[in-house]
């Protein structure tokens, strides 16, 4: 709950040099406020913005920076470097970053929180080198992200909504994304590194069927709230992602891999490739360090898995359920785990003994969407994840994970 203002100062249009706020400053809706030189919100001072505030130079907050309505916009705009600093977090509704003085003109050492929209019009916000934090609220978003305008460093997102992290490094915007979560206490933090991960996470320590690991880049994605499984997406770019990773065919060969601290190696997390969006997505139940990899499925899978991803549950005996076969031997399909998700990342079906005792996906939900399992799902595109363990010799067990599209025609 925000405190009531004891003193209200309204500026129809003010241009103030070297502004230091000692009391309570309120910019009402429809009102403009601007500072040419450094704005310093002192300890115990309060600055509330429901109008439009122009910050042309440095911004420091050691008191309260907040808003009341959902109308305020703070514009960081200038022709020189702008430092955003302070010992207290600054809460903004909308923010616009517009500064073309150099590639990374915004030096963020303070903490800023966005509740509405962040418009990355021009200029990189650098908190990687200055130690600040950039946080988006539950329904906050961003626009105009590009190589020329994003966050170079950590970005945090609170809540359950889908979110694309506006992160990059070295002059490249390379987003990661998470799908809708159930847990309202979810707090996800993401950062992109335009660096070879091999020195920290050796590429020769990897699952048997991981053939090539991205040597140019990686992402760190952590749920610093309550952990849960979620869809994540990683982007690729011809300018940064190695050509051997992007070689065709892509759909079956590009996966997401994660460095597993317990196993001390890279493990395969599967992958669904979207060529139009240049992303690879999969469901994960653990967070950490991720990157893209090339998978050699043919030579290492212990038997030939075939997935028939069209489901038409009309009772004609053809594609009435999601079919998974393994040729003459059925050893690979014993105790197989299958999960099906809708396009919003909500689980609609799950089982750990697929195919046994009629436990098959036939277009009806069993999972988060409908625990009773008596609701027919609408026609459309879904995602599946299948996993099973198998022996690789010397009493060692590995896990095979595959992700892909599933097409349901319920008519």
User: Residue 371: its pLDDT value, please?
Assistant: 47
Quick one: average pLDDT of 269-276?
A: 89
User: Residue 316: its pLDDT value, please?
Assistant: 81
User: pLDDT grade, residue 254 (50/70/90)?
Assistant: very high
Q: Specify the range with the lowest mean pLDDT, choosing from 191-205, 332-346, 365-379.
A: 365-379
Q: Whole-number mean pLDDT of the chain?
A: 86
Tell me the helix, strand and coil percentages in the chain, rounded to 5.
5, 45, 50
User: pLDDT grade, residue 332 (50/70/90)?
Assistant: low
Residue 116 to residue 248: CA distance in whole angstroms: 40
The fraction of the chain above a pLDDT of 70, given in percent, is 86
CA-to-CA dists, residue 178 to 30, 69, 158, 187, 234, angstroms: 36, 28, 11, 11, 9
Quick one: average pLDDT of 139-149?
A: 97
User: pLDDT grade, residue 74 (50/70/90)?
Assistant: very high
- Encode pLDDT of 187-238 as tens digits: 999 999 999 999 999 999 998 789 999 999 999 999 887 767 788 999 999 9
User: Residue 14: its pLDDT value, please?
Assistant: 43
The answer to whether 290 and 234 are in contact (CB under 8 A) is: yes
The fraction of the chain above a pLDDT of 90, given in percent, is 57
User: Residue 373: its pLDDT value, please?
Assistant: 52
Q: Which residue has the higher pLDDT, 309 or 311?
A: 311
Check pLDDT > 80 for residue 303.
no
User: Residue 318: its pLDDT value, please?
Assistant: 81
Q: Specify the range with the lowest mean pLDDT, choosing from 122-131, 187-196, 369-378.
A: 369-378
**DSSP per position, 23-92:** SEEEE-TT-EEEESS-EEE-TT-EEEESSEEEE-S-EEESSEEE-SSS--EEEEEESS-EEEE-SS-EEE
pTM for this structure?
0.84
User: Residue 11: its pLDDT value, please?
Assistant: 40
Select, from the ranges 11-15, 25-29, 180-184, 372-376, the one with the highest average predicted confidence (pLDDT).
Answer: 25-29
């Amino acid at each position: 709950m925000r405190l009531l203002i004891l003193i209200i100062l309204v500026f129809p249009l003010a241009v103030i040099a070297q502004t230091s706020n000692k009391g309570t400053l309120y910019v009402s809706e429809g009102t403009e406020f601007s500072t040419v030189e450094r704005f310093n919100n002192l300890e115990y001072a309060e600055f509330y913005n429901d109008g439009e505030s122009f910050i042309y130079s440095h911004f420091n907050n050691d008191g309260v920076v907040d808003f009341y309505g959902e109308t305020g916009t703070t514009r960081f705009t200038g022709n020189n470097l702008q430092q955003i600093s302070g010992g207290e977090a600054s809460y903004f509704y909308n923010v616009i970053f517009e500064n073309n003085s150099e590639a990374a003109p915004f030096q963020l050492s303070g903490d800023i929180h966005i509740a509405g929209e962040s418009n990355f019009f021009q200029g990189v916000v650098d908190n990687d080198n200055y130690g600040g934090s950039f946080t988006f609220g539950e329904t906050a978003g961003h626009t105009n992200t590009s190589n020329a305008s994003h966050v170079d460093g950590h970005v945090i997102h609170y809540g359950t909504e889908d979110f694309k992290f506006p992160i990059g490094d070295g002059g490249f915007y390379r987003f990661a994304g998470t799908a809708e979560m159930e847990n309202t206490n979810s707090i996800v933090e993401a950062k992109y590194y335009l660096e070879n991960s091999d020195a920290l996470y050796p590429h020769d320590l990897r699952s048997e069927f991981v053939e090539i690991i991205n040597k140019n880049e990686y992402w760190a994605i952590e749920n610093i709230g309550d952990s849960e499984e979620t869809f994540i997406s990683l982007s690729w770019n011809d300018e940064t992602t190695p050509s051997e990773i992007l070689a065709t065919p892509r759909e079956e060969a590009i996966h997401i891999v994660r460095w597993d601290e317990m196993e001390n190696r890279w493990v395969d997390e599967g992958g669904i490739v979207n060529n139009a969006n240049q992303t690879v997505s999969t469901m994960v139940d653990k967070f950490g360090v991720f990157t893209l990899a090339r998978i050699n499925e043919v030579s290492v899978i212990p038997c030939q898995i075939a997935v028939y991803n069209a489901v038409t549950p009309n009772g004609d005996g053809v594609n009435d359920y999601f079919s998974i076969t393994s040729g003459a031997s059925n050893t690979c399909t014993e105790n197989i785990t299958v999960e099906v998700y809708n396009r919003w990342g909500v689980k609609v079906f799950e089982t750990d003994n697929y195919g046994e005792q009629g436990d098959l996906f036939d277009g009806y939900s069993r999972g988060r969407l409908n625990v009773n399992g008596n609701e027919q799902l609408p026609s459309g595109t879904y995602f599946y994840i299948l996993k099973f363990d198998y022996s690789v010799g010397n009493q060692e067990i590995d896990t095979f994970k595959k992700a892909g599209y599933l097409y349901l025609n319920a008519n």
